[in-house]
Amino acid sequence: MYTNQSTVISLSKHQDVVNNNIENTKKDFGIFFTPERIVNFMIEMIDMKKISSRNDVFILEPACGLAQFLYGVKRIKPSLYNKSKLFGVEVNQDIQNYSKTLPFSKEYALYKEDYLLFETNIHFDIIIGNPPYGIPSMSKHYKIKTSSETKQLYKNIYKTWSGKYNVYGAFIEKSINLLNNNGQLIFIVPATFMILDDFKKLRNYLSNSGYTSLTYTGPDVFKPEADVSSVILYFRKSHKVNSLKLAEYKNNSIHTVYENSNWNGEVIRFVTEYTKKLDNRCSYKLGDIYNINISSRTPEIKDNIYIKKGKPLNINDYYPLLNGRNLKCNKINYDNLTGYWIKKENSNKLRGYYNKPHIVIGLGFREDGRLAAAYDRKCYPWMGDIYHLSKKNDLFFANFDISEIDLLAYLNSDYVKRYIKETYREITYHLSITQLKNLPVPSDKEWKIIKARGKM
């Protein structure tokens, strides 16, 4: 790989200047500079055969910052650079002003635009870069400061917008729309779109629009600035191909996990020999047997007229609200750790599924990566990231005969801990309802066999 080290050092110094002068602005716009080794790796992913016959190649870097990727094309693929027309879009005026002081800025057309609202008649052969990450909102809880009016525009424009959507998902959709047929999109993005329900529409959009290849790069690429597991998305636009390839970068090499020639936007999970064995030894999925519901979320609690903040005078008339801190493996601490209370007579006004004894599952992983499940006999109300299981009345699964005591032992076991770790890596600290629904669970006989065999 060709790399001019002096220019790399120079660009790194410019990044340091920008980092030191607009630290707060970077947070507001979800900006993270990409390590040079990742820039080089992504540029090497460009399939030159797909553009070999073109005299003019149009290359775009959205949210381009200092144009790391456009400059990388010049460094690494000079033959491509020599026949390319380069374009960058950057919304942040401070970064744009600084980038214009660099000599390379004269070699590409730079637009000061919000990329998600950017309009152009040009279609591109290559779109490459590192889009911003974050949920757009003016709330202090979210990184990317966006007015409600602008956010509504995004929702109106983007078909894949769903739930607590992250702007990088909209960047992907926008870029697909701007590609020529057989055009290539290469982004480094959080791996969360592989598994979370909010990105179901995006996965469908990818599968219906062409060929998708993902290279999982793990949680360390952007540390210490950001603690996020990332994946490099290589996408080629085509009306004929909807296949998927999943690979993993590990021990300085790339390993193909699997390929799917008929991907229809399903959740993208890792598959190992261990996960295949546990899947094969369990006849059921958790979602087959149980309805899975989530607790009242914190904003709902704070705005609820029945909720009291602070210890009431007559404590015997109230239930404490519990959350994840109250839940351990096979144990519930019923003390009030949240500071929120509700009158016993009003507790049924929160959620109907609190009223009967049932299994609760901690949405987040414990410190050692283990799921936390316990049986709530007191039926206290909960808030936050806790799931509640209620048995389905389904004759088809009437033979599911494992006791709830043994099911708890299984859910809290090393078997499940390892399964979750190998299936979802470090993609998210929390499990979604979809992930829980797909968790394999054994019958009584299967659980006895699993325990008897020990390690799989």
List the catalytic residues: 130-131, 133, 222
The DSSP bridge pattern shows strands 179-190 and 124-129 to be parallel
Among residues 231, 333, 322, 287, the alpha carbon closest in space to that of 435 is found at: 287
| SS3 of residue 291 by DSSP | strand
Q: How many residues does the chain have?
A: 456
| SS3 of residue 447 by DSSP | helix
Residue 265, phi-psi category: left (phi > 0), alpha (psi -120 to 50), beta (remainder): left
Q: Which residues, in sequence order, are bridge partners of residue 382?
A: 322
Q: Residue 119 has what DSSP assignment?
A: -
Q: Residue 118 has what DSSP assignment?
A: -
Contact predicate 145/138, CB 8 Å? yes
Q: Is the dihedral of CA 330, 333, 338, 341 positive or negative?
A: positive
List b or e across 407-441, with b for residues whose CB sees 16 or more CB atoms inside 10 angstroms: bbbbbbbebbbbbbbbbbbbbbeebbeebbbbbbb
Rounded-to-integer distance, Cα 86 and Cα 73, Å: 10
Burial of 383 (0-12, 13-18, 19+ CB in 10 A): buried
Give the number of C-alpha atoms closer than 13 A to the C-alpha of residue 227, restricted to the C-beta side.
3
CA 99 to chain centre: 30
Rounded-to-integer distance, Cα 325 and Cα 369, Å: 15
Rounded-to-integer distance, Cα 281 and Cα 279, Å: 6
